[in-house]
Amino acid sequence: MKHIMAFMVMMEIAILSTALAMVASQALPRCDDRCGDVQIPYPFGIKEGCYLNQNFSITCNKTDRNGPPKAYLMQTNISVTNISTNGELHVLQPVVRTCYDKANGSFVPNESNFSVPAMFPISGTKNKFVTIGCNTAGLIAGYLQESLYGSGCISLCLNKSGVVNGSCSGSGCCQLEIPNGLTNLSLAVTGLLNFADVRTFNHCGYAFVIEADRFQFLSRYIENFEEEVEVVLDWGIRNETRIECGSNARRTNSIFNGTQYRCQCLDGYEGNPYLRHGCQDVDECKYPWLNDCKHKDKCSNTEGNYTCHCPKNFHGDGRKGGKGCTKNSTSSIPIIIGIGVGLPVLLIATTTIYLGYKKLKFIKQKQLFFQKNGGFVLQRQLSQWNSPNDMVRIFSQEELEKATNNYAQDTIAGKGGFGTVYKGVLDDGLTIAIKKSKFMDESQTSQFINEVIVLSQINHRNVVKLLGCCLETQVPLLVYEFVTNGTLFDHIHDTTKHVPLSWEARLRIASETAGVISYLHSSASIPIIHRDIKTTNILLDNNYTAKVSDFGASKLVPKDQTQLTTLVQGTLGYLDPEYLLTSELTEKSDVYSFGIVVLELITGKKAVRFDGPEEDRNLAMYVLCAIKEDRLEEVVEKGMVSEANMEQIKEVAKVARECVRIKGEERPSMKEVAMELEGLRATKGEHSWANVNLSSAEETVYLLDGASESSQLVGSGSMSTVGNSIKLEITLMEHGR
């Protein structure tokens, strides 16, 4: 027993010595490779000349007289706990806390910003967002591929016994997965309900992002939780920064959408691949668990690999998982003859069986994908809604791969947070657009089927035409007509690529869009609520004709109903406040969103923005304030106003103001809006709303601040039961990038 213990100690010492030797070679020569307990590998470094560039600099400060120095990222207060050459950076992030104020009888909302350089995004695969507390709402926001992202979850509990260890599914604790590439993180937390029995054991709520493997919920956390948690960031080298990977290393380019790369040691090597000789050969024979030789004493180390040998009078590869070792035969002639005759027969039989199996597997896989992607549900729904099946063409997988040259990079027409649109050309010369999601789960399958069903009901010149779909692939595809001239958002806000639209063109686009929505509400075979009207979902063709798109969130309304209770979904800035508070979806929700689009056309400004004073962040509030103060001409986009059209612009502003009224019942129908706009195009005379005082202030508009044109808000349930005057206010702060 003593000998065994001694041997184990010697093994541990040997392994530790090897690890220390490799750790010592992680930094450049004559450079400090540690800051306290943290190893600092190149391209990171502490002193100038020891790091690749300023983004990889580490500040090493001694903050505690009795403790070791601590490492901080660049000149920030972000504490670094671990740096690995495989592209992970572990840092500490403060926990956002809100506590119950007994004096006021409510929670004090709190928020925190976690600003790291854009080249160090939050790892979506390694972290998760967590909210702890009873009746506590946690919100998370940041940048995702140059667009604002926002989400959140709510943790509820009615009594202490309902909170159990290990469960983070909504009772005392809720958690969310976060997307890869999230930067400029903002967190906020607030209490929702004020139940006295809950406050006796839960005084505070917490929100934070934490490394997923480091968090296990305990019920005592609702009473007290730590102040800092560990978060994993991703890092790489920007493409414009040219450095050579070390010997025995290779470069990986598919990092952060191809904008950055990393160096990686080849198989059989370990160390720092960013140093010239940082990757050293691993002696697999020295450690039994690193090789699969059947006879451990017959292992020979080679550069980057190893070889297994057989004992004398045996032959084979010597591996456990291979042929092993076979005793040599005295006569190999019968074996050679048998192999010579049997091998061709076996090869022919195996090939035949394999091809048949492969064909059968391919057919079954296509059938499985068809069923998984809702093919039978789609057929049943189309039959239920009496949709003509010949209007929805079913494309084969091979047909779309050929049209896009196997989805080549140069066929990408656009990218979004949830997928990619490819441009393709069919054999008959028809140009198409293929909508391909990044991933698909069961919840998205219903949304996909919904979009097919909705679009199959629509036959309108100002709606992007659905040509068909493909259900044979792992992720189902939608095939549309290709609209050539980009989005209305691009033409309004990106003047570097597009000529500014004239007022006449803008009024025509508004009128066409209003006509489409009116058609959806009033003239379609089954009324349709689009639910996501915004400038990015309005496409333009070469004649600047409006084409409304993206019906993934739309709802078909039974003829005997005027409103639906749904999961709250839409885009901040365009989202109907009444719908947000009640979850009751009506046609007037589309009217509100359309009003915001008209205000964008008039002002040339985004629905929400951060480039001005705080009171001007919300477009609707900004314009209505200008109307109230009789200074509409100041907010109209410069260069668009003339003596001939200013009165017309004022009339259109009246239409927009009526559309964005807080109470849905006070808004006009889309049919009235479409008729009014068409009338304004035809004449500059008086219209039905001409007697409305443009500067009146009959109501106070209460809107949500924050989020860009692509940020999505999803919630559930009505919040009217929380109190007589509950108000939600979400502020997504923009940080320097």
99 in helix, strand or coil? strand
Read off the pLDDT band of 556 (50, 70, 90): low
Q: Which of 683, 708, 702 lies closest to 610, judged by CA?
A: 708
Alpha helix segments (H runs only) across 173-302:
196-199
- DSSP structure class, residue 637: P
Q: How far apart are CA 323 and CA 695, in angstroms?
A: 88
- What does R_g of the chain's alpha carbons equal in angstroms? 32
Q: Are strands 431-437 and 477-481 parallel, antiparallel or unpaired?
A: antiparallel
Predicted confidence at residue 504, as pLDDT, reads 93
End-to-end CA distance of the chain: 61
Residue 95 structure tokens: 């926990």
Q: How far apart are CA 130 and CA 117, in angstroms?
A: 23
Q: How far apart are CA 426 and CA 137, in angstroms?
A: 49
122 in Cβ contact with 178 (< 8 Å): yes
Read off the pLDDT band of 7 (50, 70, 90): very low
Tell me the pLDDT tens digit for each residue of 67-87.
889 999 988 888 999 999 999
Q: How far apart are CA 431 and CA 423, in angstroms?
A: 7
Q: How far apart are CA 34 and CA 24, in angstroms?
A: 9
Top-confidence range, 244-253, 440-449, 517-526:
244-253
Q: Which of 137, 540, 270 lies closest to 129, judged by CA?
A: 137
Higher per-residue pLDDT: 421 or 526: 421
151-170: average pLDDT? 87
- Whether the predicted model's global pTM rises above the 0.85 cut: no
| Residues noted as catalytic | 532
pLDDT > 90? residue 505 = yes
Residue 266 structure tokens: 């080849």
pLDDT > 60? residue 713 = no
Q: Kindly tell me the burial class for residue 593, based on how many C-beta atoms sit within 10 Å of its own C-beta (0-12, 13-18, 19 or more).
A: buried
Tell me, what amino acid is at 264? Q
Q: Which of 116, 121, 124, 82 lies closest to 260, judged by CA?
A: 121
Can you point out the beta strands (E) in 178-282? Answer: 182-191, 204-211, 228-234, 237-238, 249-255, 260-265, 269-271, 279-281
130-139 burial code (b ≥16 CB/10 A, e <16): bbbbbbbbbb
Top-confidence range, 122-131, 200-209, 237-246:
122-131
pLDDT > 60? residue 708 = no
Worst-scoring range by mean pLDDT, 174-178, 440-444, 519-523, 539-543?
A: 440-444
Quote the mean pLDDT of the chain: 80
601 in Cβ contact with 506 (< 8 Å): yes
Task: Provide CB contacts within 8 A for 182, sequence distance 6+.
Answer: 121, 122, 124, 142, 143, 144, 149
Phi-psi region of 362 (alpha: psi -120 to 50; beta: other; left: phi over 0): alpha
Positive/negative CA dihedral, 454, 457, 458, 464: positive
Q: How far apart are CA 206 and CA 117, in angstroms?
A: 25
Residue 225: φ, ψ to 5°: -135, 155
265 in helix, strand or coil? strand
Read off the pLDDT band of 672 (50, 70, 90): very high
Q: How far apart are CA 86 and CA 69, in angstroms?
A: 24
Name the helix (H) or strand (E) containing 137: strand 136-144
Residue bearing tokens 């896009």 = 404
pLDDT > 80? residue 63 = no
Tell me the pLDDT tens digit for each residue of 15-43.
434 443 444 468 999 999 999 999 999 99
Q: What CA dihedral angle connects 496, 502, 507 and 508, to 10 degrees?
A: -90
